[in-house]
Amino acid sequence: MNLAEILAVGEAMERALALLEGGDVVAIPTETVYGLAGDATNGVAVARIFEAKGRPRFNPLIAHVADLAMAGRIADFDPLSAKLAETFWPGPLTLVLQQRAENGIHPLVTAGLDTIALRMPRGFGGELIARLGRPLAAPSANSSGKISATTAEAVAADLGDRIRLVVDGGATPVGLESTIVKVEDGRLTLLRPGGIAAEDIEAVSGQKLMRGAAGIEAPGMLASHYAPGASMRLNAGKIASGEALLAFGRDRAEGWQDAVAVRNLSEAGDLREAATNLFAYMQALDRSGAATIAVEPIPFDGLGEAINDRLVRAAAPRDKIA
Ligand code: TXA
Ligand code: MG
């Protein structure tokens, strides 16, 4: 049974506010992917997020803020984090910072950690948070282990029987989740590549990002994530008949004419465009019924790092799902 109402951003504000005030969850568009949002200060609302997603465990969530003042009440900003926030917010950068005492954030948001992931989204989400006057906890609006939704229709198809409202802002412009960076003692660690290229953060901060797992950290702890139903074969130079093809750029892999379905992430070889199309095209090829989606090589520079990260997770053996 589908409960969810879908309302366009222009007509959804009052309904979204009423649901959030009542401790319910709402799916909202952000510039990266759709988020499943609940009041970050309300434990019942946060629990409903986990329930709706069917998360296998309580991963810490990103708290979304409306402005720097709200962010500053929640976490400690040293000069480096302030500079990153001023440069990239609102936008697809999440900063993991030390929490301030008595900040009102429910501990379920942070899974009891003393750090918190913060981000200021563009568009409807930012306005909604400002109107609510409280931060919103929001993971991507998909059931656990599934591809992140970049359209309201994809959210409704996945979570529509578990939530009441999907706010429709059209296809999300970035198409990939935010880049997550931990700031600690003036040092930056990349926890998850995403919608802002690591190079851009390095240019502003004047330092190389450290990489690699550090403790609990980002969703990549689950090797298999973003998984479509079909299996994925990466860096395909040749297409076997019966496979679907996720292409990139102008040159086609050998045998591409035999693919049961083809989507090109970016004909022009533009990684930004490819990021925007990634999840929707994986879903479309999955619906073709092919047992395997072959993926042409994608370069690693700029947003290519995040795209390859998601593809590797989508291709990981499914028994790695925790
Ligand atoms: O673009 C995005 O970031 C989207 C939109 C909706 O904002 N959100 C998103 O949330 O991707 P989610 O929950 O799917 O991924 C956030 C990840 C979590 O998996 C978690 O591992 C990491 O952020 N995270 C949250 N708090 C953290 C913390 N205190 N330390 C380290 N990692 C943290
Ligand atoms: Mg997610």
Quote the pLDDT of residue 164.
Answer: 97
Task: Average the pLDDT over 56-61 and give the result.
Answer: 78
**Distances 9 to 28, 61, 134, 168, 306 between C-alpha atoms, Å:** 9, 24, 19, 6, 28
Q: 27 CB under 6 A from ligand 1?
A: no
Whether 223 shows a pLDDT value over 70: the answer reads no
Planar angle of CA 247, 253, 255, nearest 5 degrees: 115
**Distances 254 to 51, 113, 236, 258, 259 between C-alpha atoms, Å:** 45, 49, 9, 9, 10
For the stretch 132-173, pLDDT in tens is 999 999 999 999 888 899 999 999 999 999 999 999 999 999
Global confidence as pTM: 0.87
Q: Quick one: which atom of ligand 1 is closest to the CA of 176? A: 1
E strands present in 196-281: 231-233, 244-247, 262-264
Q: 94 CB under 6 A from ligand 1?
A: yes
Question: What are the structure tokens assigned to 264, written together?
Answer: 């090109």
Q: 138 CB under 6 A from ligand 1?
A: yes
Q: From ligand 2's centre to the CA of 150, what distance in Å? A: 12
Q: 219 CB under 6 A from ligand 1?
A: yes
Choice between 162 and 59, residue whose per-residue pLDDT is larger: 162
The protein residue with its alpha carbon nearest to ligand 1, atom 19, reads 219
The protein residue with its alpha carbon nearest to ligand 1, atom 23, reads 218
Alpha carbons 38 and 53: distance in angstroms, whole number: 12
Quote the pLDDT of residue 286.
Answer: 92
For the stretch 168-211, pLDDT in tens is 999 999 999 999 999 999 999 999 999 999 999 999 999 999 98
Task: Average the pLDDT over 298-303 and give the result.
Answer: 93
b/e per residue, 42-59, with b = 16+ CB within 10 A? beebbbbbbebbebeeeb
For the stretch 82-129, pLDDT in tens is 999 999 999 999 999 999 999 999 988 988 788 999 999 999 999 999
Return the percentage of the chain with pLDDT > 90, whole number.
78
Q: From ligand 2's centre to the CA of 44, what distance in Å? A: 20
Crossing angle of helices 304-315 and 271-287, rounded to 10°: 20
In sequence order, which residues have a C-beta less than 8 Å from that of residue 22 and are 6 or more positions away?
none
| Range with lowest mean pLDDT among 31-35, 57-61, 69-73 | 57-61
